[in-house]
Amino acid sequence: MNAYQPRTDDMQFVLSRVLNAPAQLQALPAFAEVDPELMQQVLDEAGKFVGEVIAPLKRDGDEIGAQWKDGVVTMPPGFKHAYQTFWQSGWPALSASTEDGGQGLPSVLEAMLYEMLSAANHGWTMAPGLLHGAYECIKHHASDELKALYLDKVATGEWLATMCLTEPHAGSDLGLARTKAVPLPDGQYAVSGTKIFISGGEHDLTDNIVHLVLARLPDAPPGPKGLSLFLVPKFYPDGSRSRVHCDRIEEKMGLHGSPTCVMRFDEAVCDIVGEPGKGLNAMFVMMNAARLHVALQGIGLLDAAWQKADAYAQERRQMRAPGKGRSAGEADLIGEHPAMRRILDTQRAWVDAGRVLAYRTALELDLIKHSQDAATQAAAQCWCALVTPVMKSVFTHQAFHGGSDCLQVFGGHGYVREWGIEQIVRDARVAMIYEGTNEIQAIDLLVRKVLADGGQSMNALLDTLASDLPPAAHASAAAQSRIQTLRSLTERIAQAAPKDAALAFRVADDYLRAVALVLMDWAWLRIETGVDADTPQADTRWLSPAKALRSWVLPEFSMRSAIIEQQCSAVAH
Ligand X SMILES: Cc1cc2nc3c(=O)[nH]c(=O)nc-3n(C[C@H](O)[C@H](O)[C@H](O)COP(=O)(O)OP(=O)(O)OC[C@H]3O[C@@H](n4cnc5c(N)ncnc54)[C@H](O)[C@@H]3O)c2cc1C
Active site residues: 435
Q: Which is nearer to ligand X, 381 or 437 (CB)?
A: 437
Which residues contact residue 378 at a Cβ distance below 8 angstroms, ignoring those fewer than 6 apart?
none
| Among residues 177, 198, 399, 469, the one that binds ligand X under rule CB under 6 A | 198
Only one of the segments 23-31, 95-103, 225-233, 433-441 lies at the binding site for ligand X (rule: CB under 6 A); that segment is 433-441
Q: Do strands 160-164 and 209-216 pair parallel, antiparallel, or not at all (unpaired)?
A: parallel
Which has the closest alpha carbon to 28: 370, 305, 321?
A: 370
Name the residue type at position 494: A
Q: At what angle do helices 374-409 and 421-428 cross, to 10 degrees?
A: 140
CB of 447 to ligand X, least distance (A): 9
Please tell me the distance from the alpha carbon of residue 152 to that of residue 159, in angstroms, as a whole number. Answer: 9
Q: Which is nearer to ligand X, 157 or 171 (CB)?
A: 171
| Among residues 197, 359, 419, 524, the one that binds ligand X under rule CB under 6 A | 197
Q: Is 163 in the site for ligand X (CB under 6 A)?
A: yes
Only one of the segments 21-29, 166-174, 227-235, 535-543 lies at the binding site for ligand X (rule: CB under 6 A); that segment is 166-174
Q: Is 210 in the site for ligand X (CB under 6 A)?
A: no
CB of 525 to ligand X, least distance (A): 33
Contact (CB, 8 A) for 7 and 541: no
Contact (CB, 8 A) for 363 and 371: no
- C-alpha separations of 150 from 138, 171, 254, 395, 491 in Å: 8, 28, 32, 33, 47
CB of 249 to ligand X, least distance (A): 10
Only one of the segments 105-113, 163-171, 269-277, 304-312 lies at the binding site for ligand X (rule: CB under 6 A); that segment is 163-171
Which residues contact residue 204 at a Cβ distance below 8 angstroms, ignoring those fewer than 6 apart?
72, 73, 74, 75, 80
Q: Which residues pair with 390 in a beta bridge?
A: none
Print the binding letters for residues 438-477 with ligand X: x by CB under 6 A, - otherwise. -xx--x----------------------------------
| Among residues 166, 242, 371, 388, the one that binds ligand X under rule CB under 6 A | 166
CB of 141 to ligand X, least distance (A): 17
CB of 562 to ligand X, least distance (A): 22
Contact (CB, 8 A) for 76 and 257: yes
Q: Is 515 in the site for ligand X (CB under 6 A)?
A: no
Q: Which is nearer to ligand X, 8 or 228 (CB)?
A: 228
CB of 497 to ligand X, least distance (A): 15
| Other CB atoms within 10 A of residue 276 CB | 17
- SS3 for 35-65 is CHHHHHHHHHHHHHHHHHHHHHHHHHHHHCC
Please tell me the distance from the alpha carbon of residue 436 to that of residue 326, in angstroms, as a whole number. Answer: 52
| Among residues 112, 210, 424, 430, the one that binds ligand X under rule CB under 6 A | 430
| Among residues 30, 368, 378, 433, the one that binds ligand X under rule CB under 6 A | 433
CB of 437 to ligand X, least distance (A): 3
Distance of CA 510 to the CA centre of its chain: 20
Which has the closest alpha carbon to 199: 433, 466, 505, 490?
A: 433
| Among residues 22, 61, 65, 171, the one that binds ligand X under rule CB under 6 A | 171
Contact (CB, 8 A) for 230 and 191: yes
- For residues 197-222, one letter each, b for 16 or more C-beta atoms within 10 angstroms of the residue's C-beta and e for the rest, the string is bbbbbbbebbebbbbbbbbbbeebee
Contact (CB, 8 A) for 423 and 374: no
Q: Which is nearer to ligand X, 172 or 566 (CB)?
A: 172
For the chain, the residue count is: 573
| Among residues 437, 480, 529, 544, the one that binds ligand X under rule CB under 6 A | 437
Total binding residues toward ligand X, as defined by CB under 6 A: 18
In the chain, DSSP finds a helix count (H) and a strand count (E) of 20, 9
Q: Is 246 in the site for ligand X (CB under 6 A)?
A: no
Contact (CB, 8 A) for 223 and 178: no
Q: Is 172 in the site for ligand X (CB under 6 A)?
A: yes
Contact (CB, 8 A) for 215 and 181: yes
- Taking CB positions, which residue lies at the least distance from ligand X? 171
Q: Which is nearer to ligand X, 172 or 551 (CB)?
A: 172
Planar angle of CA 455, 460, 463, nearest 5 degrees: 125
Distance of CA 573 to the CA centre of its chain: 40
Q: Do strands 189-199 and 260-273 pair parallel, antiparallel, or not at all (unpaired)?
A: antiparallel
Only one of the segments 90-98, 147-155, 196-204, 220-228 lies at the binding site for ligand X (rule: CB under 6 A); that segment is 196-204
User: What 3-state class would DSSP assign to 130?
Assistant: coil
Only one of the segments 341-349, 392-400, 427-435, 469-477 lies at the binding site for ligand X (rule: CB under 6 A); that segment is 427-435
Q: Which is nearer to ligand X, 163 or 380 (CB)?
A: 163
Please tell me the distance from the alpha carbon of residue 347 to that of residue 342, in angstroms, as a whole number. Answer: 9
Q: Which is nearer to ligand X, 166 or 194 (CB)?
A: 166
Only one of the segments 161-169, 205-213, 229-237, 413-421 lies at the binding site for ligand X (rule: CB under 6 A); that segment is 161-169
CB of 399 to ligand X, least distance (A): 14
Q: Is 434 in the site for ligand X (CB under 6 A)?
A: yes
CB of 279 to ligand X, least distance (A): 13
- C-alpha separations of 26 from 34, 46, 84, 96, 125 in Å: 6, 21, 32, 18, 30
User: What 3-state class would DSSP assign to 319?
Assistant: coil
CB of 344 to ligand X, least distance (A): 29
Print the binding letters for residues 267-306 with ligand X: x by CB under 6 A, - otherwise. ----------------------------------------
Only one of the segments 267-275, 414-422, 430-438, 476-484 lies at the binding site for ligand X (rule: CB under 6 A); that segment is 430-438
Q: Which is nearer to ligand X, 166 or 347 (CB)?
A: 166
Q: Which is nearer to ligand X, 105 or 181 (CB)?
A: 181
Q: Is 255 in the site for ligand X (CB under 6 A)?
A: yes
Q: Which is nearer to ligand X, 10 or 439 (CB)?
A: 439
Q: Which residues bind ligand X (CB under 6 A)?
A: 163-166, 171-172, 197-199, 255, 260, 430, 433-434, 437, 439-440, 443
